[in-house]
Structure formats: structure tokens, C-alpha cells
Amino acid sequence: MKTKTIFLFVIISVLLMTELSAQNFLTDSYYQNYHKYKEEAIKSKRFTNADILPLIEKLKSNNLFEVTKLGESLLGKDIYQLKIGNGKTKILAWSQMHGDESTATMALFDLFNFLKADDDFNKLRELLFENLTIYFIPMLNPDGAEIFTRRNAGMVDLNRDAARLQFPESKILKKVRDELEPEFGFNLHDQSSYYTAGNNFKTATISFLAPAYNYEKEINEVRSNTMKVIVDLNNELSKIIPGHIGRYSDDFEPRAFGDNLVKWGTSSVLIESGGWKDDAEKQFIRKLNFISLLVAFESIAKGNYNSNNIDYYFAIPQNERLLYDVILRNALIEIHGKEFLMDVAINRNERINRNGEKTYYSSISELGDLSIFYGYEEYDLSNMKLEPGKIYKDDYYHELEKEDLTELLNDGFTDFLSDTLYVKEIDLRKTKVNLFTDKERKSTNEIRLFRNANFVVKKDDQVKYLFINGFLVNPKVDFTTVENGLLID
């Protein structure tokens, strides 16, 4: 009897271990091996349809992929679909519906490299190909991607065109969904980098959503399956970025594709790529997208998601907009002849200069008591005064000696006069100060909402720091931390 009990215990243990093994994901392996699959032809978040077409062309020669031209954008750019696998469960994933939300598009081309590789992940590939048929639409909005803007060439948000279907890009997505009737959809976006995962300082680096299909936010089987897949995504990504995962608002939007896909019968997983400190080009978040998609596909192929409890979906903290790029805390600021204790928030807005290069335009986003907010960078200016940066009009910037410039920076000057010809020839990213060409300029760097973020920080009436275009400068050392200066007309 004792032998039978021991034998039964061993059998049960083996079965339990087998079940647990089936629930285990390869997340750590994805993370460790990602560099092998990263598509090196895409190095930054700004790229166009012309950049990905050669990559798609190469995939046409691979027997694993079936490449189909779905149609053209409003301005005639080709939109493609890539199909892989022969399984019963259909999945549709699309990216860059918004032209300036490119993180997932980068990850898709990394994923294509993974899927066509021949290495230690072959068992997983066999599992995916046998159980799933996956359809990808990378870059649904190539016209918006061309100028890196949210909307399409008709200046319309395609994610608000799911009901009327007025534009070719929207019609393509709806037609594909209706023809395939996929069980799952992956709606891949970027969100503002100023969201936190709940009421704390941690950025919402990745956010998920199981969209509602009506105003009552009811949960049917289609929406429930979305939530269950997200539970696995949250569990696995939490191993990499604990505390940095948010839940996007599920307010019903009757014009949006994600909400309508659930209504039409497709479990639609929204993945939003947010912010991560020192990852302006979103290369780390690109990696997280790659891992997210593989975890999701693995969960669906194995059926793991079926056993998940949707209560864990609702336990994911909701997105809160509590972040700024920079917060200066406890500064003394003079207003109308009186000093006040204030915090100052600065946001660094990306721009493209005349040479097509990324620059920043920083401005004051908020003033006052900002104790409930957080900054990617924070500086405590207790017992220090914050004053407007001074404007130097006596000599042209390019005629100043290095010693003169250093002395002027230490005197609190942030803006310098230049002649028009010189401005046309120079690169403001290299000057790292602000230039203006009108010697009669009357405006100042006032510390007011939406003004340029050019300040002097003083302690005991001595210049301690500068902020030039929102970047901290120690004038006694150098000012290499400034990404770029501004041209102020």
C-alpha cells in the first residue's frame, strides 16, 4: 500500500510539473537573445515607408512568409500584409496607424527576423506555426510616417474612422478584419511619455487595454479573452520592468478600431509604448514590444490564457498623467516685486530642424505647487533664486572668444546676438546657446507659462547653474549637457 501511495504521489508530481512547465514562458530567453534578431536597418524611431519596403521585399523570398499588397494610402504609398503560419487560430496585428507611433513597427521587423531564424527556438516556432496563422500590417499610415505626424494625409486620425471608413487606410484594415475574422487582434500604438503606472513616479513604459465594446463597459467572452491574454503579458513583462506597466483607460470610443473590433468579435489587445528614462529613440521599449508579442503568441498557441482570472487584469494600475521632463522644486521666484516659493515644470518637445535633424524646443509647462507630480529629472532649488536668463546684445556670438563666452555664461547670459548670415551657416545643436538676430529684441525670458525655459539659478546672489532650452548647465564646468540651442526670431 505504501509503495502504491508513493507511486501515485510521483505520478501526480510529474503531471503537476508538466502542467507548470506548460505555463512557463520563454521571457528570459527572449530578453537575453533579442540582440540576435534586432533589425539593424532601422536604428531610430523616425523612418519612412521607403525604409521598410526593401525589408519587405527580402521577406518575399522566404517561403515562411506570404506577402500581399493590400492597397495604397491616400498619397499612393503601398500598404502590405505579411502572413506566417498555418494554424487554426487567426491573429491580426497592425502598427503605425498613427504615423508618429513607430515603436511597434520596429519591433515587428525584429519579430520577422526571429520567426525566420533557425536556432534553439525552433520548437517554439513549430508550436506557433502549427497553432496560429498570424497576419501583420506594418505601417498602416505611411503618409503620416513620412512626416512623422499622428494623422494621415487627409489630416484625419485613422483611429477615429472605424465607423465612417472614409479613408483608404481605414477601409484596408476593416476589409482585412472582415475577410479574416481573426480571433485576436493586436493594436500597436505609442502613448505620451508623461504617463505613470498609477499614482507614483514610475513611468507607464508599456500600457495594455482590453477595449470596451459599449458605454456600459460590459464584459463578454471576446473582451474577457483579451483581458486574459493581458494577464500573461503583465505577469511576464513585470519580470523585466516591475511597476512600469499601466492599464489604459477603457472609456468606450465608438469611432475607434480597437473598440469596434471587440464589437465585431475579435479580442483586441491594445499595446501602448510610453516612456523610459534615457530612451528617447525607444530602442529599449522596442525590445519590450518584441517580447510582448512573443509572450502573447505563446500564450494563445498553448492556450495558457484560458486559465487566467480577469481580476488580475483590473489589478494593473491605471495610467495617470503625472510626469514632466524636468521639475525644479522649491525655487524662489520674483513676481511683481515679491518673492514666492514655486515649482517649475519643463517639457522638452521634439522638433525637426531644417536639416531633418531632431532637436528640442523646451518650454515651461506648469508653475506652482507641483508636489503631486514627478519629473524624469528633478532638481531641488531650496534657498536658491530662479531668474530669467539674461540676453547679451553687445557683440555677435561668433566674434566672442571662448573666454568671453565662459565669463558671460557665468554672469547668467543664455541668449546671444548673431547676424543672419552666420545663423544660416551654423548648427544650433553645436552652439548649445540661444541665438537671436534682432538687436532691438524687447522680449525677455520671463518665467511664465509656455515661455522658453531659459533660467539662471542663484545662491547668495552668485550664479550657480543655468538652464538653457530646458537643460541644466554648470557654467563653471561646461555646457555639453544642452542638446541644442534655439533660434529666437
- pLDDT tens profile 79-138: 999 999 999 999 999 999 999 999 999 999 999 999 999 999 999 999 999 999 999 999
What is the spatial distance between Cα 10 and Cα 8, in angstroms, rounded to a whole number?
A: 5
Phi, psi (5° rounding) for residue 345? -105, 135
Both 186 and 311 in one domain: the answer is: yes
List of residues 6+ apart from 478 with CB closer than 8 A: none
Taking alpha carbons only, the member of 131, 469, 86 closest to residue 298 is 131
Both 302 and 354 in one domain: the answer is: no
Residue 469 and residue 362 in contact, taking contact as beta carbons nearer than 8 Å:
yes
**pLDDT reading at 23 higher than 80:** no
How many domains are contained in the chain?
2
Adjacent-strand bridge partners of 95: 188
Taking alpha carbons only, the member of 300, 379, 328 closest to residue 91 is 300
Domain boundary among 276, 303, 321: 321
Domain boundary among 321, 351, 376: 321
Query: In the structure grid, which three cell numbers stand for residue 328, read together?
Result: 525644479
Interstrand relation of 184-190 and 132-137 (parallel, antiparallel or unpaired): unpaired
Q: Would residue 16 count as lying in a domain?
A: no
Name which residue leads in pLDDT, 44 or 420.
Answer: 44
Both 317 and 337 in one domain: the answer is: no
Q: Would residue 258 count as lying in a domain?
A: yes
pLDDT at 356: 79
What is the spatial distance between Cα 231 and Cα 225, in angstroms, rounded to a whole number?
A: 10
Query: In the structure grid, which three cell numbers stand for residue 4, read together?
Result: 502504491
Read off the DSSP letter of residue 325.
Answer: E
CB atoms near residue 102 (< 10 Å): 28
Q: Would residue 315 count as lying in a domain?
A: yes
Both 314 and 337 in one domain: the answer is: no
Both 204 and 240 in one domain: the answer is: yes
Both 41 and 108 in one domain: the answer is: yes
Both 286 and 248 in one domain: the answer is: yes
Q: Would residue 11 count as lying in a domain?
A: no
Give pLDDT tens digits for 218-255.
Answer: 999 999 999 999 999 999 999 999 999 999 999 999 99
Residue 232, SS3 per DSSP: helix
What is the spatial distance between Cα 285 and Cα 275, in angstroms, rounded to a whole number?
A: 8
193: Cα within 13 Å, side-chain hemisphere:
20
Both 343 and 309 in one domain: the answer is: no
pLDDT at 94: 98
Q: Which residues of 244-262 are buried (b: 16+ CB within 10 A; e: fewer)?
A: bbbbbebebbeebbbbbbb
Adjacency order of strands within the sheet including 89-95: 66-72, 78-84, 132-137, 89-95, 184-190, 267-273, 206-209, 245-247
pLDDT at 162: 98
Name which residue leads in pLDDT, 12 or 4.
Answer: 4
**pLDDT reading at 22 higher than 80:** no
CATH number, position 470: 2.30.40.10
Mean pLDDT of the region 455-472: 96
pLDDT at 266: 98
Give pLDDT tens digits for 132-165.
Answer: 999 999 999 999 999 999 999 999 999 999 999 9
Q: Would residue 254 count as lying in a domain?
A: yes
Q: Would residue 252 count as lying in a domain?
A: yes
pLDDT at 365: 98
Residue 202 and residue 193 in contact, taking contact as beta carbons nearer than 8 Å:
no
pLDDT at 6: 44
Q: Which residues span the domain enclosing 212? A: 27-321
**pLDDT reading at 361 higher than 50:** yes
**pLDDT reading at 8 higher than 50:** no
What is the spatial distance between Cα 422 and Cα 397, in angstroms, rounded to a whole number?
A: 9
Adjacency order of strands within the sheet including 487-488: 390-392, 413-417, 434-436, 487-488
3-state helix/strand/coil string of 435-455: EECCCCCCCCCCCCCCCECCE
pLDDT band for 353, please (50, 70, 90 cuts): confident
Give pLDDT tens digits for 174-217.
Answer: 999 999 999 999 999 999 999 999 999 999 999 999 999 999 99
Mean pLDDT of the region 35-63: 97
- Alpha helices of 118-157 — where are they, by DSSP H? 122-131, 142-146
List of residues 6+ apart from 464 with CB closer than 8 A: 384, 457, 458
3-state helix/strand/coil string of 373-426: CEEEEEEECCCCEEEECEEECCCCHHHCCHHHHHHHHHCCEEEEECCHHHHHHC
Residue 414 and residue 390 in contact, taking contact as beta carbons nearer than 8 Å:
yes
**pLDDT reading at 478 higher than 90:** no
Query: In the structure grid, which three cell numbers stand for residue 128, read together?
Result: 506557433
Both 262 and 368 in one domain: the answer is: no
pLDDT band for 429, please (50, 70, 90 cuts): confident
Phi, psi (5° rounding) for residue 122? -60, -35
**pLDDT reading at 5 higher than 70:** no
In the chain, what is the straight-line distance between the N-terminal and C-terminal CA atoms, in Å? Answer: 93
Query: In the structure grid, which three cell numbers stand for residue 78, read together?
Result: 503601398
pLDDT at 64: 96
Mean pLDDT of the region 399-417: 93
Adjacent-strand bridge partners of 139: none
164: Cα within 13 Å, side-chain hemisphere:
9
Task: Tell the burial category of 420 from Cβ atoms under 10 Å away from its Cβ (0-12, 13-18, 19+).
Answer: exposed
Give pLDDT tens digits for 39-48.
Answer: 999 999 999 9
Which of 267-276, 337-346, 385-394, 425-434 has the lowest average pLDDT? 425-434
What is the spatial distance between Cα 283 and Cα 280, in angstroms, rounded to a whole number?
A: 8
Both 315 and 332 in one domain: the answer is: no
Q: Would residue 58 count as lying in a domain?
A: yes
Residue 222 and residue 262 in contact, taking contact as beta carbons nearer than 8 Å:
yes
pTM assigned to the model = 0.92
Q: Would residue 177 count as lying in a domain?
A: yes
pLDDT at 155: 97
pLDDT at 486: 93
Angle at 407 between CA 406 and CA 408, to 5 degrees: 90
The residue assigned the cell 508513493 is 6
Both 315 and 329 in one domain: the answer is: no
Both 347 and 484 in one domain: the answer is: yes
Query: In the structure grid, which three cell numbers stand for residue 107, read together?
Result: 519591433
pLDDT at 20: 38
Read off the DSSP letter of residue 316.
Answer: S
Q: How does the average pLDDT of the chain come out, rounded?
A: 93
CATH number, position 47: 3.40.630.10
Domain boundary among 304, 321, 338: 321
